[in-house]
Amino acid sequence: MNITFAKIAVPAQGAVVFGVAEGSKSGIKLSGAAAKFDKQAGGALTRAIKAAEFTGKREKTLTIVAPAGTRVTRVILVGLGNTSTLDETAAERIGAVIYDAVSRDTAAAVVLEGLGGAKAKAGDLVAHVAGGVELKSYRFAKYRTKEESDAKPRIKTLVFQSDDAAAAKKSHVAVAAVAAGVFFTRDLVTEPANIIYPQSFVARAKELTADGIKVEALGVAAMQKLGMGALLGVGQGSRRESQLLVLRWDGAKDKKAPPVAIVGKGVTFDTGGISLKPPGGMWDMKWDMGGAGIVVGLMRALARRKAPVNVIGLCGLVENMPDGNAQRPGDVVTSMSGQTIEVLNTDAEGRLVLADVLWYAQERFKPRAIVDLATLTGAIIQALAEHYAGLFANNDELADQLAAAGKHVGERLWRLPMGDEYDKDLRSPIADMKNIGGGKAGSITAAQFLQRFIKDTPWAHLDIAGVVWNEKGTALAPGGATGYGVRLLNRFIQDAYEK
């Protein structure tokens, strides 16, 4: 899809979209290019607005097909709501609505006049409408050898007309960087587990070197040397070699300034191991590497918009399989931190992987803060469904910054409590801890487990099991991998560390 920005003009062909501010109950009055176009069409728009009682409510559309007196295929009026309250996320959602309205045309002009208010500048809003179009246009069709041609989107070119095209174009550079990151994440998450496994994940992540990111991977021998018995225990039943992926973006002026570390759970398939999962829905566990997928997409977004900040992305990549060499329930493993863990349930594997990656991140990089992302517990889906990811933290400021960023981009977080009452559940009779709690508050005991591998670094854990995949689709994503987290962390890093 080719996106360009231009001055306002009355469009003459293809599909035409006019953004329309919300009017009073008695109706709306067209202005600017829309009014001129309406005149050419003999008042067809005004009549349609009346007949459909279209009020310009945000994200509502009204389509007028092939209006007489013009050569356009269709006109879509899209409601902007109250334009003075438009922010970037609202603009993106409007963009997503526009994509759905024009995807069957080959070319479209989108006219956005008179935007900009208290919450955002016109150029930024136009850029984010374009970003919403891009985000919603995602498709993963590489394995379809036959496809109904009328199911395929046709849209090739979109021109966004606005009062300040130069500002929109400039602002769109960062917006497109983030969209590219989201697409990379969705691609990785959607790939099945016979294609994406630890080493092939690393190979795909090497594409990031073209963006200016340093990519490094540790295999089993290197991890054994480091004493990563917790991570390695999870992968030992798999034919696929476990990997620890380290991505570096040194964008700050001072390349030595302490980085922020973002850690992702990358279980490329989670059968549960010897504590085997039931077959129904097990296919979902191809996206148990969603946290790692976000890390990779985020790094692309940061690099492509040249974020002035140092960030390390780390992914613990393993496949959790039952096998003659798999770890057994009851095994005791020694983590890199030296702490021992009794593995009572081999399906509580994400925390074992993260234990070693979190420790390694602190030892090697001394980060100013660590945020981990993990499809860690089914319990978080029980608690929050697909509407929020769970947020856990040892630091209120960090938690507040993350929650604010999530609210800003519409990828919401809800903080849950932590405390000794929950931590006690992890006591083991023969090791320093066991890898499961007592059965209640499963998401919290999982977070407590992770915290045992955090020294005094500000740390937050996002349990994203409910938000990585959405069969029905979300406002900004078609069904499948949502890419949740890339926009959220991009915003968080920008607001908290790029001042």
Tokens of 181: 């990151």
CA distance 178 to 493: 13
288 binds ligand BES (CB under 6 A): yes
Name which of ligand BES, Zn ion, Mn ion, none residue 418 binds, using a CB cut-off of 5 to 8 Å depending on partner kind: none
288 binds Zn ion (CB under 5 A): yes
Site string for ligand BES, 301-340 (x = CB under 6 A): ----------------------------------------
Query: Which string of b and e fits 395-421 if b means at least 16 CB within 10 Å?
Result: eeebbebbbebbebbbbbbebbebeee
Site string for Mn ion, 338-377 (x = CB under 5 A): ---------x-x----------------------------
Closest CA to 112 of 18, 21, 29, 33: 18
Burial of 249 (0-12, 13-18, 19+ CB in 10 A): buried
Name which of Zn ion, ligand BES, Mn ion, none residue 428 binds, using a CB cut-off of 5 to 8 Å depending on partner kind: none
Q: Which residues pair with 215 in a beta bridge?
A: 247
Length of the chain counted residue by residue: 499
Closest CA to 485 of 348, 306, 196, 292: 292
30 binds ligand BES (CB under 6 A): no
228 vs 374, beta carbon nearer Mn ion: 374
350 binds Zn ion (CB under 5 A): yes
Query: Which string of b and e fits 461-493 if b means at least 16 CB within 10 Å?
Result: bbbbbbbbbbeeebbbbbebbbbbbbbbbbbbb
353 binds Zn ion (CB under 5 A): no
Closest CA to 233 of 128, 153, 342: 342
CA distance 77 to 54: 9
Give residue 241's region: left, alpha or beta (phi > 0; psi -120 to 50).
Answer: beta
Query: Segment contacting ligand BES (CB under 6 A): 135-143, 239-247, 345-353, 390-398?
Result: 345-353
Q: Is 277 a catalytic residue?
A: yes
Catalytic residue, chosen from 36, 57, 121, 277, is: 277
Task: Tell me which of 155, 228, 246, 379 binds ligand BES, using CB under 6 A.
Answer: 379
Q: Please count the helices (runs of H) and the strands (runs of E) in the chain.
A: 15, 19
Catalytic residue, chosen from 58, 286, 351, 491, is: 351
Smallest separation, CB 435 to ligand BES (Å): 8
Tokens of 139: 């498709």
Give the total of residues touching ligand BES (CB under 6 A): 15
| Rounded alpha-carbon distances, angstroms, from residue 24 to 21, 28, 57, 60, 314 | 10, 7, 10, 15, 52
Name which of ligand BES, Zn ion, Mn ion, none residue 337 binds, using a CB cut-off of 5 to 8 Å depending on partner kind: none
Smallest separation, CB 379 to ligand BES (Å): 6
Instruction: Tell me the longest C-alpha to C-alpha distance in the chain.
Output: 84
Task: Tell me which of 267, 302, 315, 373 binds Zn ion, using CB under 5 A.
Answer: 267
CA distance 126 to 95: 9
- Whose tokens are 């009346």? That residue is 50
CA distance 332 to 467: 32
Residue type present at position 95: G
Q: Which residues pair with 360 in a beta bridge?
A: none
Task: Tell me which of 86, 111, 436, 481 binds ligand BES, using CB under 6 A.
Answer: 436
Name which of Zn ion, ligand BES, Mn ion, none residue 442 binds, using a CB cut-off of 5 to 8 Å depending on partner kind: ligand BES
Name which of ligand BES, Zn ion, Mn ion, none residue 345 binds, using a CB cut-off of 5 to 8 Å depending on partner kind: ligand BES
Residue list 224-283, contact with Mn ion (CB under 5 A): 270
By beta carbon distance, the residue nearest ligand BES is: 378
297 binds Zn ion (CB under 5 A): no
Task: Tell me which of 377, 394, 448, 490 binds ligand BES, using CB under 6 A.
Answer: 377
273 binds Zn ion (CB under 5 A): no
Give the total of residues touching Mn ion (CB under 5 A): 3
Residues that bind Zn ion (CB under 5 A): 267, 270, 288, 350
Residues that bind ligand BES (CB under 6 A): 270, 284, 288, 345, 347-350, 375, 377-379, 436, 442, 465
Residues forming the active site: 277, 351
